[in-house]
Amino acid sequence: MAPYPIAANSGGWQNVIEGQTALLLASSLSQLQGAVTATSSTQLWGVELNGLFFRLFDRSRFCLDALVGFLYDDLAETLKMQYISNGPAGGTFLEAILTDDFSVHNGIFAGQVGVQGKWTSKWVYCSFLAKVGLSGAEQKSEISGTFSDPLPTLYTSYGVGTSGGIFAQPSNSGRHIQNKFIVVPERIVRLGFNPTSQCSISVGYDILFFSNVLRPGQQIDQSINETQAGASGGGKTPTLTGVSEPALLMKNSCYWTQGINAGIQVQF
C-alpha cells in the first residue's frame, strides 16, 4: 500500500471478494484517513385547475360531484456524495477528493378526473376528494463526477479536478431526457367545525402518489469499469477499455408523499 492518498487506477482499487473491488479511502496500515458524506434534497410543487362537471348525488346533508381538470406537478431531487482520503507523502500532507452528483427532474402535465363529496350538519362537516391524473412525464437526469489529487504523478496540473468520481464516470455522465407514462392519484379528507355561519375551522389529510418517476438513488450502477476511473500514470486522461460501466440506467420507480393541513375560512 502506498503511504499517500490512494487514487482510482493508481493502486486504490482493492480486491474484496471474487468479482468485486473497493476503493480504499482509509487504512491504519498506510496511515490513511478518510470520510464519506452524502447529502440529498427533494423539491415538490404543483398547480392545478379543476371544475365541477355535474352533480352525481344530492340529499339533504350529503352531495357528490364529478370534476375534471388539469394539473402540473414538478418533482426535483439531488443526491451528492463526497469521498475524502488524506495522509502523509514524503513529509507533505496530501488530500484526494472525489465527488458524485446525481440530479433528476420530473415534469408532469396531466388531465385528471375525480369526485368530490361533502356531508354537513349545523356545526360540523366532512369532505373528501379523490382524483387521478393520466399523462406522460418529461424526465431529466444529470450525472457528473470529479476527482482531484495533488500528486503530480497523476495529474499534469497541481490539484486539477477531472471528469469522473466513483459511481459517476464518463460512461454514464451527462444530461439525459426521456418521456414516460405516469398515473397520479390523490386523496384528500377534511374534517371541519363551524363555530358561526360565516366561519369554519378544518383539518385535513392528503396523500399523493406518482407511479413512474426518476429518483437519484435508482440511477447508481454499482458495476464500475476501473480503466476509466481516476487517472492514468503521468497525468494522462484514462481511456475506457472493455465494458461501458457504470451504465446509464434511467430507471423508474414510484414516489408518494403525505401531509396534514389546517385552515380557517371566513365568509363575508
Does residue 30 register a pLDDT over 80?
Answer: no
pLDDT per residue as tens digits for the range 173-229: 999 999 999 999 999 999 999 888 788 899 999 999 999 999 999 999 988 887 777
**Domain boundary assignment for the chain:** 42-80+106-266
φ, ψ for residue 190, nearest 5 deg? -140, 135
Phi and psi at residue 159, in whole multiples of 5°?
A: 75, 15
Q: Are strands 33-58 and 20-23 parallel, antiparallel or unpaired?
A: unpaired
Mean pLDDT, all residues of the chain = 83
Q: In this prediction, what percent of the chain has a pLDDT beyond 70?
A: 80
Question: 123-164 pLDDT, tens per residue?
Answer: 899 999 999 999 889 999 999 988 776 654 433 333 344 567
Q: pLDDT over 90 for what percent of the chain?
A: 54
C-alpha span between 111 and 12 (Å, rounded)? 52
Whether 234 shows a pLDDT value over 90: the answer reads no
User: What pLDDT, on a 0 to 100 scale, did the predictor assign at position 4?
Assistant: 37
pLDDT number for residue 90: 59
Cβ contact 110:68 at 8 Å:
no
**Cell triple for residue 132?**
387521478
pTM above 0.85, yes or no: no
pLDDT(166) > 90: no
In Å, how far are 15, 104, 154, 174 from 5, measured between CA atoms? 18, 32, 12, 28
